[in-house]
Structure 1
Amino acid sequence: MANFREIVFASSDKAISKKIQQQVKVGQLRKIAPRIYTSNLADEPKKIVLRNWYIILSHLFPGAILSHRSAIEGKPVDNQIYLTYSSARNVQLPGLTVHLLKGFDKEIGTVLFFENLYRSAEPRAYLENMEQTRNTSGFPKILPRDMLESKMEAIIRTRGENELNKIRDDARGLLSALEMEKEFEHLSKLISALLSTQPARILNSDVAKARAHGEPFDPDRITLFNLLYDELAGNDFKNYRDSNVTNKSYHCFAFFESYFSNFIEGTEFAVSEAKEIITTETPLPERDEDSHDILGTYQIVSNQKEMRILPESAEHLLGLLRNRHEILLRARVSKKPGQFKDLNNRAGDTEFVDWKLVAGTLKKGYQWYTLLQDPFARACYMMFLISEVHPFLDGNGRIARVMMNAELTSKGMSKIIIPTVYRIDYLDAIRKLTRKREASTYIRMLTRAYAFSASIYGEDLEAIEGYLKKCNAFEASEQYILKFK
């Protein structure tokens, strides 16, 4: 028997059975459970079983239905799985406990899952998870209520309200066959609460309650913001007092702050051109919109009074963002300055928060911001919150850095500049936090930018420009690094 599959089942065919026993004897097969053999002689039996669970269940329990919580989860969880079958019992396999429940056959509200194994379709699965049951084990057959609500909210968020209503309609059609009238009543009330057509007081999960109150949020992003908060709250940071305390020095810093913040987003000017735009407050005729971007950014970041304003509530945060964005992009009418996006946006492989979830995600994310005390920690958190939500059609990076530096200015600390030479480090650190959930690189990146920025001071643009050149600040090539004392 060459080229074995990893799983081989015992057979009532005498010839096949004899051949299996011969292979066991010569060490080409080994038994890992009753009537189950494997050609894998190296891995632990539990790993082999879990890797091939659907093949094994299809063979051992033909016609069984992946049901209750397992129908929604679609796989073993905590090494356990529930099947509706012709009899009720528990079967212990290496690494997997199979809970068999006696119930209705595979013809009612199911879909084919794998070979002889079926799965409750969504309408039946949600009815099953409405069953009232006592938890006699550490792994109940129905999903915890908050998890079930979150699953249903995700259907609305990703597929629309009509899809959840369709599940309810299809579940209604199964009532007589499944004898689950009470379960349908519970399901219908839950769906109505999620769709705000009945009171939300029956809801348990935060994401479901937010949906019912008209402020749905992105739960994956909220998990990410919580992770960043945990990393920031557990650290002590060095804070740098702002050396640019005079009106003139603050304006000089603001010039380069505006210059680099736009350059990093692709609005590239020579320093001399940017000086002309800002000192004359006149756009270059051939680059009107780009010039206004420089002017709009500078108008915000050079205004110490404006930069000392921090959000005092979640609603205030939304208003502050819209007001500053309106100033920043006032010349780009097509980008709807001062309005949250009405289309989804992305950068490369990163898709930002859905436009319908912007306000709710910002408000929910604001909660962790209020718990942070350290100015640098708050600046780090605020910058990532705005960048990750990406609430506008354009200008998100610049607004995120404005909000970051407002945190620092309000406490008399040095603002942060991201020079051109540091652009790759900056973007890579944000991507790493977004995609790999690694906050430490992001924090280290901003810590270094903070220390560099604190070394920039003076009341003469040319002198500061000379210092920045020595630091390689204007270099775009990756062969240069940021240098400063």
Structure 2
Amino acid sequence: MTNSVTFAGERPSATIADWLRRGKLIRIAPGVYTSASEDPAAVVSREWPSIVGHLMPGAVITDRSAPTAGPVDGVLYLARPVKALTLQLPGLRVIARKGAGPQEGDIALPGGMFQASRGRSLAENTLPSRAVLNRPSRTFNDDELADWIDRLLRIDGVERLRYYRHQAEALAVSLAVPQAGIDRLGQLIGAAIGTRTVFTGSKALDARQKGFPYDADRIARLDLLVQALRNSAPQNQPADPSDPRWSHIPFFEAYFSNYIEGTEFELDEAVKVVYMDQVPNGRTQDGHDLAGTYQIVNDLKEMSSVPTSGGQFIELLRYRHSVILAGRPEKNPGALKTIANRAGDFVFVRPDLVEGTLRAGFDRLAELDTAWERSVYTMFLVSEVHPFDDGNGRIARIMMNAELVAARQARILIPIVYRDDYLGGLRQLTRYDDPSILIKALRYAHDYTAGIDFSELAIATRELAATNAFKTPDSAQRLLLLGKNARISSVSQWERPVIKSADIPQLHVR
């Protein structure tokens, strides 16, 4: 018995027959049984290495299954030295072609199978094959192979990729791989490491040859977001940025955006920093962060500027970042990062892939039709790449709101109370490829922001306070933002002072 799987021979045949007759077991493959109380597909999904290893001992995971060392879209591709065999298990199709058995460098796996070495996997993925019905070809096409080589270079580096090429060449004869396939593999690897130039339909490898390599895994995630945004409901909150109703939204945008990143001021302190150039003792750099953010978001000309090319996108990012972090020279304001950054165990895009990933990501922007879609996408692009040493969250939200301002749409504020919802949406997409939470969170924040009157600081403060915007998130007792139709009646629960418009100079919006 292997977990929830029973193999013939592990129990007397009479016992297995009795359990089958009494409904305690069900058969999921020849000589393979599981408890009748379990979902057979779930059992196969969990136990496929031992099941397939029992049925096909010595089989080698290779071809299209090589990169993931497992099933691809419900199909497991194998090679084995005996006759070809196709096996249908609950939820899994196993396709084993006749091919070489385990070779030097292949890895023995628990259960009886082997994982093909990288060199073998690359060599065998040059073998020709055809797509069948709705199933892709057994091996990669030329563009897919080039994409994989680019990924291997990103993950394993130049020297390992060279080793894989030599390994493939050494195994070619025993694997019955034609010389033409090995030659093409050498050409693609040479293009990846920069020793030659080849024509390829792989966007990733082509970008690398042009000097702008990118993180293809991040681009795939961005493509998921593009598709989700295109399939989502329309979102429209028109706003004339020169309307007096929006006069003080830049202040709150700068205030909340910095608060999310840990630059926390009491509201009256923030007013003095922004409008009176009075910074609390010992907080000069924090004051520069807040004032620099406000300088950008209060400039309507700047906030109405949206890029038309990947290069211009990067230049806008760098300029705006240089203003925001002008007070922190040690953070290299305006300079793309040279050292990898991370959040916990999550590593953002590598420094050598930042510019290429931003350019490739920007190219996807053309697939989105509305300012709302572009704003969400742009914010996530910057957040996912994390192109700077610091200030990435602030610059991501500035780029988001610039798309909205340029299209005469209401901006999006992330109030303090909504911080965890917003960051949770980012994490859900970044870690689990689920864009739905982020889209819902930003749609809600957009509607909420559009319902606040920012014509005077006192009015905006009162409405924001009455809708709990200044509260810290409380996971035990979720404070709900009331939104556009909030009943503004009392601020008694808010501990911060209400700012009167008479306390500050008249604001002049450019």
How many pairs were matched up?
473
Shift of 1:332: 0.8
Match of 2:248 among 243, 247, 252: 252
Match of 2:181 among 179, 183, 200: 183
Q: What CA RMSD, in Å, does the superposition of the two structures yield over aligned residues?
A: 3.2
Question: What amino acid sits opposite 1:228 in the alignment?
Answer: L
Shift of 1:109: 4.5
Match of 1:222 among 201, 219, 222: 219
**Contact 1:71 1:119 survives alignment (8 Å):** yes
Shift of 1:42: 4.7
Shift of 1:291: 0.6
Encode CA deviations 1:446-472: one digit per residue, 9 max, x unaligned: 233223323444554334333333333
Question: What amino acid sits opposite 1:225 in the alignment?
Answer: L
Deviates more, 1:74-83 or 1:272-281: 74-83
Shift of 1:415: 2.3
Aligned position for 1:483? 482
1:418 correspondence with 2:406: no
Match of 1:211 among 208, 212, 216: 208
**Contact 2:79 2:101 survives alignment (8 Å):** no
- For the residue of structure 2 that corresponds to 1:194, the secondary structure is helix
Q: State the distance in 2 between where 1:26 and 1:274 align.
A: 73
Shift of 1:103: 4.3
- For the residue of structure 2 that corresponds to 1:173, the secondary structure is helix
1:397 correspondence with 2:393: yes
Match of 1:306 among 302, 308, 325: 302
Encode CA deviations 1:20-59: one digit per residue, 9 max, x unaligned: 235424647666555x143534557777666544435544
Encode CA deviations 1:165-208: one digit per residue, 9 max, x unaligned: 1111223333465564443222111211222322231x232222
Question: What amino acid sits opposite 2:197 in the alignment?
Answer: P
Q: State the distance in 1 between where 2:201 and 2:467 align.
A: 54
1:434 correspondence with 2:430: yes
Shift of 1:290: 0.2
Match of 1:90 among 70, 75, 85: 85
- For the residue of structure 1 that corresponds to 2:373, the secondary structure is helix
Q: State the distance in 2 between where 1:239 and 1:72 align.
A: 45
Aligned position for 1:278? 274
1:195 correspondence with 2:188: no
Q: State the distance in 2 between where 1:31 and 1:456 align.
A: 63
**Contact 1:243 1:454 survives alignment (8 Å):** no
Structure 1 segment 164-183 matched on structure 2, within 5 A: 164-175=161-172, 177-178=174-175, 180=177, 181-183=179-181
**Contact 1:258 1:297 survives alignment (8 Å):** yes
- For the residue of structure 1 that corresponds to 2:283, the secondary structure is helix
Aligned position for 1:21? 14
Distance 1:288 1:117, change over 3 A: same
**Contact 2:53 2:59 survives alignment (8 Å):** yes
Distance 1:117 1:454, change over 3 A: closer
Deviates more, 1:446-455 or 1:266-275: 446-455
Distance 1:269 1:7, change over 3 A: same
Encode CA deviations 1:81-104: one digit per residue, 9 max, x unaligned: 32221x333354645665554444
Question: What amino acid sits opposite 1:393 in the alignment?
Answer: D
Structure 1 segment 309-320 matched on structure 2, within 5 A: 309-320=305-316
Q: State the distance in 1 between where 2:462 and 2:424 align.
A: 28
Q: State the distance in 2 between where 1:52 and 1:294 align.
A: 54
Aligned position for 2:507? none
Aligned position for 2:330? 334
**Contact 2:120 2:171 survives alignment (8 Å):** yes
Shift of 1:380: 2.1
Match of 1:466 among 416, 440, 462: 462
1:356 correspondence with 2:355: no
Q: State the distance in 2 between where 1:260 and 1:56 align.
A: 54
1:55 correspondence with 2:35: no
- For the residue of structure 2 that corresponds to 1:433, the secondary structure is helix
Aligned position for 1:443? 439
Distance 1:275 1:443, change over 3 A: same
Question: What amino acid sits opposite 2:386 in the alignment?
Answer: H
Aligned position for 2:503? none
1:74 correspondence with 2:69: yes
Encode CA deviations 1:360-399: one digit per residue, 9 max, x unaligned: 2221221232333322222222222222222111111111
Question: What amino acid sits opposite 1:167 in the alignment?
Answer: Y
Distance 1:326 1:91, change over 3 A: closer
Q: State the distance in 2 between where 1:31 and 1:239 align.
A: 58
Q: State the distance in 1 between where 2:27 and 2:289 align.
A: 71
1:325 correspondence with 2:321: yes
**Contact 2:60 2:115 survives alignment (8 Å):** yes
**Contact 2:126 2:181 survives alignment (8 Å):** yes
Question: What amino acid sits opposite 1:20 in the alignment?
Answer: S
- For the residue of structure 2 that corresponds to 1:200, the secondary structure is coil
Deviates more, 1:268-277 or 1:451-460: 451-460
Shift of 1:402: 1.2
**Contact 1:83 1:98 survives alignment (8 Å):** no
Match of 2:236 among 228, 235, 238: 238
Q: State the distance in 2 between where 1:288 and 1:165 align.
A: 51
Match of 2:362 among 360, 366, 375: 366
Shift of 1:130: 1.6
Aligned position for 2:5? 6
Distance 1:37 1:112, change over 3 A: closer
- For the residue of structure 2 that corresponds to 1:38, the secondary structure is strand
Q: State the distance in 1 between where 2:172 and 2:454 align.
A: 77
Shift of 1:259: 1.4
Shift of 1:127: 1.3
Shift of 1:160: 1.2
Structure 1 segment 139-158 matched on structure 2, within 5 A: 140-158=137-155
Higher Cα Rg, which structure: 1
- For the residue of structure 2 that corresponds to 1:474, the secondary structure is coil
Match of 1:386 among 382, 385, 394: 382
Q: State the distance in 1 between where 2:350 and 2:300 align.
A: 33
Q: State the distance in 2 between where 1:170 and 1:279 align.
A: 66
